[in-house]
Structure 1
């Protein structure tokens, strides 16, 4: 079940000023590089934990409704389902009422329950269902758990210090695993 990013976060978990302070950089010559490294560090922590830090919009694409009626969300933490559609054989989309879905946002991975019998079957065999969701800890870094913010700092510093290493590069510091381990979302 693929997940497609529709809209990334409106902010990063670290501002440029916070990143420069952490890296002890007091000039503007590398501002573009540092901003890019903050984004890369956030994405790395998101990949390591299988959760997004700052709110983002995603589309979950499915071929058919599950027999159990339960869809485990691949992007976490789930906040809300914002739109649902089935696609017919000609590519036309039919919007579904959001009342046909119940979300369990307390669980990781989040679950969406489909009220079977109230939603039509898709008209095409592949990618016939599209569910748009919002996932993340909040609209700003204020809502992200502090160990995950620290993990972004650790990855940022690692990327900054090893930016000219060829090949696979140096291993991440051991403390990174300790920071992200409690926040990893397991796959079902």
Structure 2
């Protein structure tokens, strides 16, 4: 079940000023580098935990409705279902009523339950269903659990300090695993 990023976060979990303070950088010569490393550090923590930190919009693409009616999401934590569509054989999208779906946003991974008989089958055999969701802890860093913010700092410092390492690179510090382990979303 592919997940396609529609709109990334509007802010990062660390500001440039916070990152520079953490890295003990007091010049502007590497501001562009540090900004890109903040994004890379956030993306790394998101990949390690299988959850997005700051609210983002995603499209979940499916071939068919599951027999169980339950769709476990690859992007978490689930906040909202914003649109649902099925495509016919010609690729024309038909919007589905959102009240045909119920969400379990407390569970990780988040679940979308499809009401039986309330939605038509897709007319094309591949990628005939598109569900647009919002996932994340909130609109800014104030909503992200502090251990995950610290994990972003740890990864940022690691990337900054080891940017010249060739090959597979230096291993992340051991404390990173301790920070992210309680927040990992397991696959069903």
SS at match of 2:11: coil
Measured in 2, the distance between the counterparts of 1:170 and 1:70 equals 41
Q: Structure 2: give runs of 5+ residues left out of the alignment.
A: none
Offset of 1:61 from its aligned partner?
0.2
1:12 aligns with 12
Measured in 1, the distance between the counterparts of 2:79 and 2:73 equals 11
How does the TM-score come out when normalised to structure 1?
1.00
Measured in 1, the distance between the counterparts of 2:135 and 2:166 equals 35
Superposed counterparts of 1:119-138, under 5 Å: 119-138=119-138
CA RMSD of aligned residues (A): 0.3
2:164 aligns with 164
Measured in 2, the distance between the counterparts of 1:111 and 1:168 equals 36
Measured in 2, the distance between the counterparts of 1:118 and 1:23 equals 54
How does the TM-score come out when normalised to structure 2?
1.00
| Cα deviations by residue, 1:104-136 (Å, 9 ceiling, x for unpaired) | 000000000000101000000000000000000
Measured in 2, the distance between the counterparts of 1:40 and 1:30 equals 15
1:56 aligns with 56
1:107 aligns with 107
1:152 aligns with 152
| Cα deviations by residue, 1:20-49 (Å, 9 ceiling, x for unpaired) | 000000000000000000000000000000
Offset of 1:95 from its aligned partner?
0.1
Measured in 2, the distance between the counterparts of 1:153 and 1:183 equals 16
Q: Structure 1: give runs of 5+ residues left out of the alignment.
A: none
2:2 aligns with 2
After TM superposition, which residue ranges in structure 1, 4 or more long, deviate above 3 angstroms? none
1:187 aligns with 2:184: no
Count, aligned residues: 188
1:93 aligns with 2:93: yes
